[in-house]
Amino acid sequence: MPATNLQPIYVVGPTASGKSALAIKLAREFDGVIISADSMQIYRGLDVGTAKENLAVRLEIPHKMIDVVDANEEFSVAEYAEMAKVEIENALKQGKLPIVVGGTGLYFEALVFPMSFANTVKNPELREKLARELEEYGADYLHDKLAALDEKTAQRLHANDTKRVIRALEIILTTGKTLEENKDEQPKHTPEAVMIGLNCDRKKLYERINERVDRMFDAGLVNEVYSVGSFDYQSMQAIGYKEFANVSARKVGENYQIDDETLETIKEKIKQHSRNYAKRQLTWFRKYDFVKWFDVEDFDGAVNYVKSVLSCKTNG
């Protein structure tokens, strides 16, 4: 298919809905490159808890924006957008279909809405001042400062997530508006964006989430969590990792062990937090009126939809 007929395809939906499987099917059908829009898959070494595809699949189909930084590094939405846009352009130049897939709403926001707050509000002098305050007064001080100005965002961000706390402060102190208020000023739809959403009834989705969490534990999630070395990192504030904080594990040989009762409690917390996250994801993506929704079992429908979109572009 000639490169001139191509445009990015975005695949969204709640966790465990099968987004990656659909992206792989689309990539095989249309000679695509998969570009992750998952804020956890960017971290090297965090494979089990982030549900990365196995290496064999990633060798068969190019996967981008995976294993970008180490688990002890911070990474912003703006950095993601800058790098992902390069990957999209590279795919198009090679005549391959860019397939952006994931569940991190802010990542899609920064790509689909070119005038989003993530890219327009910049105040380097203020950012440097906030960085000095962080060094002098600590993370809790900055987090409290954010809470006084933008309580909703502060509730969403951990105090140790200093990069995002500073970014939120930079936005509100520069614009006089919260993150939510800045987002509300964005366009309500982007007709040029081809976005596919996957969903199913709540009971089935929750079953899929529970099964995925069980598979993660079977695949060695406990060892992965404790191999990182610290729960203070930005990466460890995510679901599947933060639930282990303040829980001691003993090392037996090469493996970390937790007593069965505590392990079961952690597992149930991860399942509950994942189900709650799935609801938030659906709320986020349903606000876009240009998403074409498909049932999680209807991959063929999604493939035919993409085929029709690309065909229309060719004929148009």
If you average pLDDT over residues 165-180, what whole number do you get? 85
Label residue 186 by pLDDT band (50, 70, 90): low
Label residue 198 by pLDDT band (50, 70, 90): very high
If you average pLDDT over residues 216-236, what whole number do you get? 94
Task: Measure the CA–CA gap between 258 and 264, rounded to whole angstroms.
Answer: 10
CB 142 within 8 A of CB 149: no
pTM for the structure as a whole: 0.81
How many Cα atoms are found within 13 Å in the side-chain-facing hemisphere of 289? Answer: 4
pLDDT score for 116:
53
Q: What domains appear along the chain, each with residue ranges and CATH number?
A: 3-116+186-315 (3.40.50.300), 118-184 (1.10.20.140)
pLDDT score for 183:
65
pLDDT digits 0-9 by tens, 15-42? 999 999 999 999 999 999 999 999 999 9
Label residue 52 by pLDDT band (50, 70, 90): very high
Burial class (CB in 10 A: 0-12, 13-18, 19+), 93: exposed
Task: Measure the CA–CA gap between 251 and 230, rounded to whole angstroms.
Answer: 16
Residue 311 has pLDDT above 90, yes or no: no
pLDDT score for 1:
40
Task: Measure the CA–CA gap between 45 and 236, rounded to whole angstroms.
Answer: 12
pLDDT digits 0-9 by tens, 227-260? 998 998 889 989 999 999 999 999 999 999 999 9
Rounded to the nearest 10°, the torsion over CA 270, 214, 108, 124 is 50
If you average pLDDT over residues 209-228, what whole number do you get? 97
Q: What is the DSSP track for 271-308?
A: HHHHHHHHHHHHHHHHT-TTEEEEETT-HHHHHHHHHH
